[in-house]
Structure 1
Amino acid sequence: MTFTAWIIVTAALVGLSCGLMGVFLILRKQAMMADAISHTVLLGIVVAYMVSQQITGMSMLIGGILAGLLTAFLVQSLHSMKVRHDASLGIVFTTLFAIGVILISTSVGNVHLDVQHALMGEITFIPFTTTYVPGLGDIPKATLLLMVVLLIVVFFIIVFYKEWKITSFDPVLAASLGLPVLLLHYLFMTLVSITTVASFDAVGAILVVAMLITPAATAYLWTDRLMLMLILSGGFGVLSAFIGYGIAAWLDTSISGAMALTTGLIFIVSFLSSPTHGLLSRWVKPKQLI
């Protein structure tokens, strides 16, 4: 595959994985948890580097997962202590992210890891670091990791589809049916953390947040059926990757920034034209009744 093709495929994998996970975040009304985890994984990555002296591979993944779980645990703990959920998110998110930034500045400043890289990523570097896969040839390491993560995400969605569907729409009913709501919650947050960490190095925190929230919110405008919502959300994520790259090439600007912008543009178009929840349909329907 060409240099450009690997960049687009990598971004499309981010959009697909994040789009699938984002649907459940939207339904659980935890969209800003994506923002929190996508930033606090920085702390996990920095600590993992300080321990292993590596910023790629399994150590980074484990560090990010632990940071994501710590974020979810602290938010849940503060909320159980009668602190508002949005306030809990703000406190945990800013504190852990700030610790990560300070550690970068004071402890790992000479490494290829900085705040700008953490926020925007550098997807154009992805094709330069490859690994050989039998039958497939040389594949960028970040792309291979995202392929594995996508398979993991799809597997767990299939296995726990009914359980996550119930806990997302009605956690009280799920608890009354004997489902382990808290365990399912932390399993889901683990998957969000895995998806975030795998995407983090390639595209940065901003695009991860955009891909986790906006395609799912867009899909929510088009349908009320969960399965179709998952398909649409993943599709919008992939579409944003393709269109965003074209915009970035046209304007000669940040690829991640252009893809994040594209998710917003697709949302605006859907918000205006969706036949169910679109602004125009809500304006036309009363006119038709007159």
Structure 2
Amino acid sequence: MMDFWIILTGSLVAATCGVLGCFLVLRKMAMVGDAISHSVLPGIAIAFLISGSRDSVLMLAGAAVLGLITVFLIQMLQQSGLQSDASIGIVFTALFAIGVILISLNASHIDLDLDCVLFGEIAYVPWDTWILNGYDMGPAAVWMLGGTLLLVLALIGLFYKQFKLCAFDPALAAAVGIPVVLFHYLLMGMVSVATVASFESVGAILVVGMLIVPASTAYLLTDRLSRMLLYSVLIGILSSAGGYYLAKWLDASIAGAMISVAGILFVLAFIFSPLHGLAARYLKRRRLKTGTGMAQA
């Protein structure tokens, strides 16, 4: 049963991050997920200091606010003429440092450690259960991640056309009356919530892998957004299950093995994808050279 809960938790993280990651990859904002995953730390610390509790809802709220502030600051620096990568680096390192200072200053009475927030440990998920009226409802992380996934799917489903047009052609979206800025911040808010919901299972750093790698792999396999979303989720779930059994075989980090399997799947897609793979491009160039040579003869 413990195996089931761990794989289910990893799959929920992968599905949530996989859906959001597709839009980040298409909008060339993949590293914004990395920035948000680090810069939400002050929001978590402030939420804890205000409430004195590690209540997940309060932490989600604090993280979502800091995630939006992160995106706003990055946008502001970019509009002032600073390059995108420099803007991301400045904002997330500054906010992350503030979070570290807040935690270190209050370390004597704050039950929140950086290792837990950044790295997580998915192997402990089955033991942290949600008790409701004396009944064991199962791992709390599964409920939290399941709720987050439902929220993401509901918002994407309701505004699929708007998100799609904003991802492919923001100028056209604005021309037809879609509030591009609103949907931009809505997407970033969902990324923030998904990041924090995954902290205690796989950790913030590894969430970045689930946000980027499955979506990038799916991008190599199809040119249709609907299929890309499906492939990204399936690749993430396969990575979670395969990574768990790889970790058991190697006696290694479960979360690390999950991302490693996702990386292996990306390499396979990068080489063998029928659309954008190295092998397909090589065969196409070879056919063109053969056709040119026959035409000249």
Secondary structure at the counterpart of residue 200 of structure 1: coil
Per the alignment, residue 246 of structure 2 pairs with: 247
Residue type at the aligned position of 2:237: V
Partner Cα separation in structure 2 for residue 263 and residue 113 of structure 1: 29
2:64 corresponds to 1:57: no
Q: Within 5 A, what are the aligned runs for 1:1-290?
A: 2-108=1-107, 111-132=110-131, 138-289=137-288, 290=290
Residue type at the aligned position of 1:272: I
The C-alpha deviation readout for 1:162-217, integer Å capped at 9, x for no partner, is 00111111111111111111111111111111111111221101210000001000
Secondary structure at the counterpart of residue 113 of structure 1: coil
Task: From the superposition, tell whether residues 109 and 84 of structure 1 become closer, same or farther in structure 2 (CA, over 3 Å).
Answer: farther
Partner Cα separation in structure 2 for residue 109 and residue 124 of structure 1: 27
The C-alpha deviation readout for 1:57-109, integer Å capped at 9, x for no partner, is 21111111111111111111111212212111110011111111222222135
Partner Cα separation in structure 1 for residue 5 and residue 266 of structure 2: 26
Secondary structure at the counterpart of residue 202 of structure 1: coil
CA displacement at 1:111 relative to structure 2: 4.4
Conserved 8 A contact 2:271-2:278: yes
Secondary structure at the counterpart of residue 47 of structure 1: helix
Residue type at the aligned position of 1:191: M
Secondary structure at the counterpart of residue 183 of structure 1: helix
Task: From the superposition, tell whether residues 217 and 123 of structure 1 become closer, same or farther in structure 2 (CA, over 3 Å).
Answer: same
Task: From the superposition, tell whether residues 69 and 109 of structure 1 become closer, same or farther in structure 2 (CA, over 3 Å).
Answer: farther
- 95-104 vs 31-40, which moves further: 95-104
Task: From the superposition, tell whether residues 247 and 111 of structure 1 become closer, same or farther in structure 2 (CA, over 3 Å).
Answer: farther
Conserved 8 A contact 2:27-2:168: yes
Identity of aligned residues (%): 50
Partner Cα separation in structure 2 for residue 254 and residue 67 of structure 1: 29
Question: Root-mean-square deviation (CA), in Å?
Answer: 1.6
Conserved 8 A contact 2:196-2:204: no
Residue type at the aligned position of 1:247: L
Conserved 8 A contact 2:120-2:199: yes
Larger radius of gyration: 2
Residue type at the aligned position of 1:224: D
Conserved 8 A contact 1:37-1:71: yes
Partner Cα separation in structure 2 for residue 219 and residue 66 of structure 1: 30
| Paired positions, count | 288
Conserved 8 A contact 2:129-2:136: no
Mind listing any 5+ residue stretches in structure 1 that lack a counterpart?
none
Task: From the superposition, tell whether residues 57 and 179 of structure 1 become closer, same or farther in structure 2 (CA, over 3 Å).
Answer: same
- 114-123 vs 142-151, which moves further: 114-123
Secondary structure at the counterpart of residue 252 of structure 2: coil
Partner Cα separation in structure 2 for residue 84 and residue 8 of structure 1: 39
TM-score by length of 2: 0.93
CA displacement at 1:132 relative to structure 2: 4.7
The C-alpha deviation readout for 1:125-165, integer Å capped at 9, x for no partner, is 2111212579x962211110111111111111111110011
Conserved 8 A contact 1:54-1:60: no
Mind listing any 5+ residue stretches in structure 2 that lack a counterpart?
291-297
Residue type at the aligned position of 1:264: G
Segments of 4+ in structure 1 off by > 6 A?
none
Conserved 8 A contact 2:6-2:122: yes
